[in-house]
Amino acid sequence: MTESHDLLVEYSLNGTESAFRELVARYMDLVYSTALRKVSGDAQMAEDVAQTVFLHLAKKAPELSKNVMLGGWLHQATCNVAATFTRTERRRLARERQSVQMNTFDNDSNGGLTLIAPMLDDAISQLPQEDRTAILLRFFEKRDFRSVGETLGSTEDAARMRVNRALEKLHLLLKHQGVTISAAALATGLSAEAVSAAPAGLAMTIAGSALGGAAGTGLSLLKIMTMSKLKASIVGALVVAGVATPLVISHQTQSRLLQENKSLREQVGQLSKLAVENESLSNEAAQAQSSQALAKKQASELLRLRGELGTLRQQQKEWDRMKAALAAERTRLPDITGPTAKTDTIPRENWNFAGYASPEAALQTVVWAMSKGDLKTLLASATPETQKLMAQQYAVKTDSEIASSLVHETLGLAELTLGDKMIASDGSVTFRITVQESDDGTTKTRAEAVMSFENVGGEWKYSLGPAANSSTNADQSQNRSTTDSPIPSK
């Protein structure tokens, strides 16, 4: 479908006046030129014919077929309306026009389509439908062969051949009417003179009148035309009666006024075009300013996002580095199977509550709580699982019995020596300790034991795990008490 067809559909369905005005502007030259030829060059009557044609279009638009070729419909309608206007008075008007113009105008001797103008459109109307459509599209709507081919549903070459054949047929029709003109000359003449510019402002005037006529407002255009014909008949009678000289003077004055009117219309048309162009330029300038502001805002937002992206990438790199370092550290920890630190011997008099900030401090706190018989501190120094085990072990004893048992465990112990410190893969720490006792002033090694500590909520707690429950040598297993105390009993 063409854009003209879309405008016709828009007007037919919705009554959009702007769509109809656009159609009138597009096809005004075609209709006016055809009417001008049909009425033997009478510009005023050609305008009347064009106005009637577009009035018919405004009324009949909803009834037209969706496949109608609008240019062809308008051409045929123009021929029909012009024939109606001139059927009874063409010869009389021609004689009157000839008698008036004898003293004021020279005969047109330029050739072209002037001699065949009155019969050209009748000959075109006699062509077959496809040939007539090809002629109208090529020479009246000024389309190239590719566009003609698309409209006809064929290729560019096929459209060229169709137009050439149509010209040959038109040449033969004109030849039968006594007009000798070659097909090539006919093509040249149609290209140059088939469509001429309508008077400036005529399209706007006719569109408004047609729309008003379609709505049923104002006087009937046919009545106006009838009045114009009556006036023309009176003037013709005066001419025939012998008043040719005053009429010549009147016609000259009228021609001058028409020229001035035409000039004014052209100026108005130019002013209208300038106003439209000015409005278009203003809109384009506003759009350009809006686009610049939007582009500036988008550029600022893009720079901000790029800055944030750079920061996120830097943070991601730092995070990846930390993850890699942590993974390397976790990989390294299980391989630490040997001793990592040595601690000096802690004499009994230096035992105290050292807290739980480190495994060494937690170890000293456990030994100190046992030496004081402080069951509460001892339980607080153990993991929840170890607390449950201790509660089961001391379930049949009173608090005083438990305190005495703990103190008894440490009696005679002179010092505590921390041996190897082992770090397990799960993060727990195990100490190998040596407990020494004093016998008659002589310090003797009593036994060795293993104590494990786990990090619970940021604090190190004593754990009766598998490592803590197994001795490191045969002497330790023989000397452990039945209470599973971390320090071997005497």
Q: What is the CATH number of the domain that holds 439?
A: 3.10.450.50
**So what's the pLDDT on residue 431?**
84
Of 350 and 487, more confident: 350
Residues 119 and 58 both lie in one domain: yes
pLDDT at 329 (0 to 100):
65
340 occurs within a structural domain = no
307 and 282 fall within a common domain:
yes
- The closest alpha carbon to 75, from 120, 46, 43, 35, belongs to 35
Same domain, 254 and 235: no
Query: Domain for residue 143, yes or no?
Result: yes
Query: What's the pLDDT at 138?
Result: 92
Tell me which of 191, 223, 246 is where a domain ends: 246
Query: What pLDDT is attached to residue 215?
Result: 63
Over residues 441-451, the mean pLDDT reads 69
Distance CA 176, CA 63 (A): 36
Q: What is the pLDDT of residue 127?
A: 93
My answer on whether 383 and 302 are in the same domain is: no
Q: What is the mean pLDDT of residues 68-79?
A: 93
pLDDT of residue 49: 95
**Summary mean pLDDT of the chain:** 78
| Least confident window among 101-105, 359-363, 370-374, 458-462 | 101-105
Phi, psi of 297 (to 5 degrees): -65, -40
Between CA 74 and CA 64 the distance in angstroms is 12
* 478 confidence band (pLDDT: 50, 70, 90): very low
Task: Give me the number of domains the chain comprises.
Answer: 3
Q: Is the pLDDT of residue 438 over 90?
A: no
Between strands 429-439 and 442-456, the pairing is antiparallel
pLDDT in tens, 386-429: 999 988 888 888 888 888 888 888 877 778 787 788 888 778 88
DSSP 90-158: HHHHHHHHHHHHTTT-PPP---TTTTTHHHHHHHHHTS-HHHHHHHIIIIIS---HHHHHHHHTS-HHH
The confidence score (pLDDT) of residue 242 equals: 45
Which residue has better confidence, 443 or 334?
Answer: 443
Among 211, 246, 281, the domain boundary falls at 246
Same domain flag for 180 and 56: yes
Q: Tell me the C-alpha distance between 243 and 100, whole Å.
A: 11
106: Cβ contacts below 8 Å, ≥ 6 apart: none
Do residue 173 and residue 94 come from a single domain? yes
Q: Which residue, 386, 354, 58, 102, is CA-closest to 244? A: 102
pLDDT of residue 109: 36
Query: In which order are the strands placed within the sheet that holds 459-463?
Result: 346-347, 413-423, 429-439, 442-456, 459-463
On the question of pLDDT at 32 being above 70, the answer is yes
Does 162 score more than 80 pLDDT? yes
187-232 pLDDT, tens digit per residue, is 888 888 878 788 877 787 887 777 766 665 444 444 444 445 544 4
Report if residue 484 sits inside a domain: no
Residues 127-147 have pLDDT tens digits of: 999 999 999 999 999 999 999
Quick one: angle between helices 70-86 and 17-38, nearest 10? 50
Does residue 490 form part of some domain? no
Q: Domain residues for 263? A: 247-335
The domain boundary, picked from 335, 363, 388, lies at 335
Residue 361 is assigned to a structural domain of this protein: yes
Same structural domain, 177 and 273: no
- On whether both 266 and 207 belong to a single domain, the answer is no
pLDDT value of position 247: 43
The rounded distance, in Å, linking the Cα atoms of 269 and 328 is 86
| CA separation for the pair 456, 428 (Å, rounded) | 10
Asked, for residue 486, whether it belongs to a domain, the answer is: no
The answer to whether residues 382 and 317 touch, using CB atoms and an 8 Å cutoff, is no
pLDDT for res 153: 92
- Say yes or no: 236 and 112 in one domain: yes
Q: What are phi and psi of 259, to 5 degrees?
A: -65, -45
**Residue bearing the bigger pLDDT, 87 or 342:** 87
37 and 175 fall within a common domain: yes
Would you say residue 489 lies in a domain?
no
Looking only at Cα atoms, what is the longest distance across the chain?
Answer: 174
**pTM to 2 decimal places:** 0.32
Residue 482 pLDDT class (50, 70, 90 cuts): very low
Q: Is residue 446 part of a domain?
A: yes
Is there a single domain that holds both residue 291 and residue 379? no
CA quadruple 348, 350, 353, 359: dihedral sign: negative
240 with 257, same domain?
A: no
